[in-house]
Amino acid sequence: MEGKIKIKLVHSPICTPEKHKKIVKGLGLRKLNQVVERPDSPVFRGMVKKIPHLLEIVG
Protein backbone atom coordinates (compact mmCIF):
# COMPACT_ATOMS: atom_id res chain seq x y z
CA MET A 1 0.00 0.00 0.00
CA GLU A 2 1.22 3.46 -0.87
CA GLY A 3 1.61 6.25 1.63
CA LYS A 4 -0.09 9.63 1.63
CA ILE A 5 1.19 13.13 0.90
CA LYS A 6 -0.28 16.33 2.30
CA ILE A 7 -0.45 19.18 -0.20
CA LYS A 8 -1.00 22.80 0.82
CA LEU A 9 -2.00 25.72 -1.43
CA VAL A 10 0.30 28.59 -0.44
CA HIS A 11 -0.14 31.05 -3.34
CA SER A 12 -3.24 32.15 -5.22
CA PRO A 13 -3.72 30.73 -8.72
CA ILE A 14 -5.59 33.90 -9.84
CA CYS A 15 -2.99 35.30 -12.30
CA THR A 16 -1.74 31.92 -13.50
CA PRO A 17 -2.45 30.12 -16.79
CA GLU A 18 -5.68 28.13 -17.08
CA LYS A 19 -3.70 24.86 -17.03
CA HIS A 20 -2.38 25.69 -13.55
CA LYS A 21 -5.87 26.50 -12.28
CA LYS A 22 -7.12 23.13 -13.54
CA ILE A 23 -4.31 21.32 -11.72
CA VAL A 24 -5.16 23.13 -8.46
CA LYS A 25 -8.84 22.21 -8.90
CA GLY A 26 -7.91 18.62 -9.80
CA LEU A 27 -6.03 18.28 -6.54
CA GLY A 28 -9.17 19.38 -4.71
CA LEU A 29 -7.78 22.69 -3.46
CA ARG A 30 -10.12 25.68 -3.24
CA LYS A 31 -8.82 28.04 -0.54
CA LEU A 32 -5.42 29.41 0.43
CA ASN A 33 -3.65 27.43 3.15
CA GLN A 34 -6.04 24.51 2.59
CA VAL A 35 -4.37 21.12 3.07
CA VAL A 36 -5.51 17.97 1.27
CA GLU A 37 -4.25 14.43 1.67
CA ARG A 38 -3.68 12.44 -1.51
CA PRO A 39 -2.07 9.05 -2.27
CA ASP A 40 1.68 9.27 -2.81
CA SER A 41 1.57 8.18 -6.45
CA PRO A 42 3.41 9.40 -9.56
CA VAL A 43 0.17 11.03 -10.77
CA PHE A 44 -0.12 13.40 -7.81
CA ARG A 45 3.66 13.93 -7.61
CA GLY A 46 3.58 15.02 -11.25
CA MET A 47 0.74 17.46 -10.61
CA VAL A 48 2.68 19.01 -7.74
CA LYS A 49 5.82 19.20 -9.89
CA LYS A 50 3.98 21.23 -12.55
CA ILE A 51 3.10 24.06 -10.13
CA PRO A 52 5.71 24.11 -7.34
CA HIS A 53 5.38 27.90 -7.05
CA LEU A 54 1.78 27.52 -5.81
CA LEU A 55 2.01 24.40 -3.64
CA GLU A 56 3.92 23.06 -0.68
CA ILE A 57 4.21 19.51 0.59
CA VAL A 58 3.69 19.53 4.35
CA GLY A 59 5.10 16.82 6.59
pTM of the model: 0.90
Cα 37 to Cα 58: distance, rounded to the nearest angstrom: 10
The per-residue pLDDT for 1 is: 52
55 close to 10: Cβ distance less than 8 angstroms: yes
> Can you list the domains of the chain with their CATH numbers?
4-58 (3.30.1390.20)
The per-residue pLDDT for 18 is: 98
The predicted-structure confidence for 6-56, as pLDDT tens digits, reads as follows: 999 999 999 999 999 999 999 999 999 999 999 999 999 999 999 999 999
Reduced to 3 states (helix: H, G, I; strand: E, B; else coil), residue 6 is strand
> What band does 59 get if pLDDT is binned at 50, 70 and 90?
confident
The per-residue pLDDT for 8 is: 98
Cα 10 to Cα 1: distance, rounded to the nearest angstrom: 29
